[in-house]
Every structure is written in C-alpha cells, then in structure tokens.
Chains A and B, each alone.
Chain A
Amino acid sequence: MPGIKYKLILLSFLIILNQGCDWLELLPPDGLVVDEYWKSKEDVEATLLGAYQQFAEMDEKLFLYGELRGDMIRAIQAPNYQQLIKNSNIFSNNQLCDWEDFYKIINYCNSIIKLAPSVLKVDQTFTELQMTIFTSEAIFLRSLAYFYLVRIFKDVPYITEPTIDDNVDFFIEKAESEEILSFLIEDLNSIKNTTPPAYSSPLKSRARATKAAVNALLADISLWNFEYEQCISYIDEIEDSKLYFLMSTSTWFEIFLPGNSLEGIFELQFDGSGENNSMFDYTYNFNYYSASDHAIQLMDPEISGEQIRGPGSISGENLNFRIWKYAGAAADQTTTRSSALQEACNFIVYRYSDIQLMKAEALSQLGQFEEAEAIINEIRGRALLDPVKISSSPEAFEDFILNERAKELAFEGKRWYDLLRMGRRNNFSRKNDLIEIIIQDAPSTQKLVLASKLSNPLGWYLPIYESELERNLNLTQNPFYDNDL
C-alpha cells in the first residue's frame, strides 16, 4: 500500500516538472510581445504611423527649436525653462535639451527598416512594393529627425540599429555632423524613386512622405551645406512634378486653415480630437508667446504695409500682437478658430513658398540674381506687395531673402535655422549679425560677455542634456558648455 503512494507522489512530481517549463511561460495580457509582432503589413504600418505621430507630438518643440533663439517671438507667460533659452541663459539641465523624442522616432524607423523585410515572408498580402514604400517613409522620417538634431545639437550619436533587447549597445558616441549629413543625403537619394509622388488622397499626400517631401528635405540639407547647385536641382524636381502651386492671394490663409492646401508638401496632421496641436495653447490660450517687436515692424500693415501676411500672421487687436496663424479662423483677425478646430491646425514642415525661397537663396548665392529676384517678386506679388529691385550682391539678396522668409514663414519654426545659415555662410563672415540677434533678449548686464563668448559658433547649438551625459559616459559635452557647470 505505501509503495503505491510513493509512486503516485513521485509520478505527480515528474508530471509537474515536465509541464513546469510550459506552465511558467506567461505572456502579458495587454500589448503584444516582440515575437508576436511584425507578423503583418498592418503591424509595419502601425509602427510607421507611430513615428509620424511622435513627430506630430513634438509640434511645440519644433516651434521652440526653430523660433526661441530667433527674433520673431516674444515670451509673455512662457514657462521658465523656455525663457531661459530665450534669454541665452542656457544650462545643460534645461529640459529643452532633451533629445529623447527625436530618438524615439529614429528607433521606430530603425525597427521598420530592419524588420519590415522579414514580414514579407509571413504576410502573403504584403507586397514588395508596399514594403519598399513603408521603408522609404521610415528613412525619410529618420533623416528628418537627424537633420533637426544636427541643426540643434551639431554632433549627435548616429544610430541605425533598432533597440530590440538589452543586448544592444546603448552607449554610442557622437558622430560628426558633416558625416551624418552625408549619410542622410545618401539615404534620401536612394529612396527618392521608391517614395510615391502622391497617395490616394490629396490629404494623405501631405500627411505621408512623398517624393516631393524627400526632395524638399534634400534641398534643405543641401542649402544648409551651401551646396547650391544640388539644392536647385532638387527643387526643380519638385517643380517638374507640377503637383504643388502657390496658393492665390485670396486663398492664402487656407494654407493654415483648413491646411493641407495645394501649397503644402509635408505637414504634421492634427484633427483636434485626440490629435491635438499645442500651438493654439502656446500662442493664444496660454499666451506663452506673441510676435516680437521685430516681427511687428516687418509685418504690421501700419508700419510696413504688409496686407496679406501681416494681419494673417499676427493679430494686432488691443495691441497684444498675437500669433494668428494657429489661432485664427481667417486672415481678417476677427474670429478665432471654432472650438473643435482650435487644436486642429497642422504643423507645416515644408511648403511650396518655403522651397521657392530656398531656391532664390541658392540662386542668388550662385550670382543668378535675376532668377532669384523673379521668385522673390512672385512671393511678394502673392502677398500684394510691389515688386522690388535688389542690388546685385549676394549679401543684399541674403538680407532681403531673410526678411522675406521671416514674413512668409513667420512662426513656422524656420527662423532660427535661416539665421544659422546666415551666420555660418562664407566661413562665419557675418557671425556678428547673428550674435546680435541672439543676445537681444539677454539681460543688459550680460550682453557684452555673452557676445564675446558666442563668437565661438559652438555656442549656437544646444548643450547635451545633463541626464543624457550622466547615462552615457561615451558622450562628450559640447565644449562651449563645459565650463559653465
């Protein structure tokens, strides 16, 4: 009798031990684990949209990076950390120095680029063409993220492998910005013909990467590198596609409301219900920022005679000079957007007038002044301004185009990079003009010290975030900020 008991006990032990291994394999009830993901084309597209969404969620950051250190906005009730940057009081613990959001996009894109080809084998409905398009979009988004990073921080880690598990090397050193840009140009050129010129709807053609978007980004990078011929050739390709036009004078404000106009090349999409743009809060609701004195001088119809873009860009009612593009329902400055649309304005990354002015800049730098002037006068004409005759020198054109871009692309997150191009051009020959703009918001007692410090161009870039330096011993701080700590 007892013998049977032992055998039974022993047997049940063995059964449990045998089944133990499976019994201990538990999967989380929410979400999908890596092994279950990357099984269908829907999975690939869902993560790709995650990268777009992540970019869209950064709208206020893209605005701040592109405008804070420029001269077009004035801080009213902006949070302290933003004001510190505005006043050139920059320390590495400023949360705006955190680049994590960009690298999230980069990681999503890296995952798609690496893992989408393996989905082809599992999902029969996933075509090679579809896969190539998704991958090309991912490369476009990754390149755009890196281009922002290079313009904001200069040298940054260049990572093309996805972070899948903890065997990945997390401690990547910085790469030279020039090197990163050359990789970007190579990547973008390779996807130029695999990115569709247009999608099923005009809306989608502005929400997703198109061939024109790739060309616009290439043109932007080339201009940043002062490679004018290439810049012009990329823009020519966009013009040749005949898909994009300048909106007419009367429909100018439709670029911003409802958005996704014929002029738009790549816009981050918001619907105001769930996907909310922060710009209405920043420029109207919370009253963080308003137009600067410089912007008012450039655009106030009473001062400069700007009719279309002036009231369309800034509202002068009660002398509060609110930024109008993100808040207004029309260019007439009388009504704000209806509440459903308040947070629905798109953030425009590239539009036709932007690349036209890029082209004018490239042409004028190459000495092709007449063609450049024609483009400028077309943009001005659209804004109901008289044509101008600019004296034939690259500097005169540079100044004129800077002002024209400031007016045309006001508050669209472009100004700081335009100024940086000016400061860097021709071996920093005009850097003092840039420094003067940077220090204008600094406290008067510190202006002189700051001006001499900023003659080092490294000070034009943001420092690496303190916690990032603490986490990655292989990173070195931008030397400009080393002594401040």
Chain B
Amino acid sequence: MEEFFQQLTNGLAVGGIYALIALGYTMVYGVLKLINFAHGDLFTIGAYLGLTLLVSMGLFDKIGPLPAVILLAVMVMILVAIIGAILERVAYRPLRQSPRLSAVVSALGASIFFQNAIMAIYSPKFLVYPHDILPKAAVTIFGLDIPVMRIIMFLTSLVLMAALYFFIQKTKIGTAIRAAAIDQGAAKLMGINVDRVIMLVFCIGPALGGAAGLMVGLYYGQINFSMGWMFGLKAFTAAILGGIGNIPGAMVGGLLLGVIEALGAAYISIAWKDAIAFCVLILILIVRPTGLLGERVAEKV
C-alpha cells in the first residue's frame, strides 16, 4: 500500500510538468485549431536558456538561491515567449487562410528546425545543470519520503495554472482570448484585434512551457536536445485526455496522465510505460474524443 501512495506522488510530480506543457498546447489549439508540434521544443529551449543564463550570469553567488531562481524563471519565460511570438509570426500567420494540413506540416518543420538548431548551437551531448542549487531535503508525510523539491515543483505548477485560469476567466484580455477561440470572425466584428490575441496566446503558452523546461532542468539536472519530443507528445496526450481547448482540462489531464504512467510502470511493466500512455490516448479518442472535461462536439462519419 505504501508503494501505491509513493507511486501516486511520483505520478503527480511528473504530471505537474505534463500539465504545464499541456496548457501551452491547449491554448494554442483552442484559438488556432493547430497542434503546435514545436511546443515541445520550446520547452527544451526553456531548459537550455535557463542553463546558459544560470552559468553565464553566476546569479547564485550574487543574490542567493531563492531570488535567483525566481529571476531566472522570469527571464526564461520572457525569452521563450518572444521566441514563441516569432514562431507564430514566421511559421503560422502566413498560413492562417491555408488548409489546416499546411499549418501542421509547418509546425513539424519548425519542430525539426528548433531541435537541430539546439543541437548545432549547444552540442549533441547531455548538458548538466550545476548541482546544489536546490535543497535536497526530504520530508516525511504519512510515512512517505517525499523530496521537498517535488512538492515545490508541484505547487509551482498549480500556482501557475491557477494564475492562468484566473487570467483567462476574469480579465478582459482573457475574455478576448476565449472569444477568439470560439469564433475568430465574430471576435473581429466585436472589435477584438485577433492578431494580437493570437500573439498573446503564443507568448503565454510557450512561456509556461519554458518555465516547465527550466523546472525540469533544475530538478532533474540533465537536459538534451531531444527531450522535447517525448514530453511534448505526452503533454499533448494529457491535453486531449482533459479536453483540448479547455484549461482546467489540461491541468486534470496532465496530473491524471502522470499518475496513470507511474501506476502503469509499477504494476504492469516499466518497459511498456509509454505504450500504455499512447493506448490511453487512443482509447480516449475513440470513446470520448472531447476529453474528460470537454464539451460535446458532434462528429458524424
């Protein structure tokens, strides 16, 4: 029983990361109906930029760990947001009026480009974040040893998700985003500058993905140019699981997928873990394509 709860906490920690990345996917899909294949690579860029900034600026020696991490997070998020906006402008905006397939191929091309650019700029090797930045202590809750950092990561994910949710639901700009997601034409008629809204979405989504990348780099320590691929695909699964276009859905989907993976690894087999995740994806799409929290959309053959 103890193992079950331990695996549960493992799953929730990983699920928090999936959820953060999934938020980026779901926001972009909601507004543009586009699967941004390059999103996983924006996550990777966040991790790499974090490393570069950390090492080159030597922040920890100057201001101490906690302020440094926050400053680092803010910087990474801004930088990745800018890259996200550029990506939208270059690769997706010209294809707004084209068939959906063109945008998908463009997204794939952008993903390949980013991955190889990272490899060319940084090197194909695994890069390592400096150690001893984060506390390594573990607390004991209900008899389970949980490292403090995992709890902090999980809480950070929740805070960011909650902040996004309130932004989308309660602010004027958030309403504009929701309007554009429902009907771009009508939104334009209401005086909403849809281009700007889309650019904003492409700033927020990638920023969250970049933050997730930084967290992964800081906590796990090791980054590699191809890590965006698996994380991205799982995050997309999570977004669909929760209901694509639906922000609470992405959160729920991410956490749920993390837990399913951890329990699948524990009780079925570690080697088939990823296959289990994909099976979940396929099952959801067959049985309930709108996801757990999504609205019903009529889809008839």
A and B are interacting partners: no
- Chain B interface residues (CB < 8 Å from chain A): none
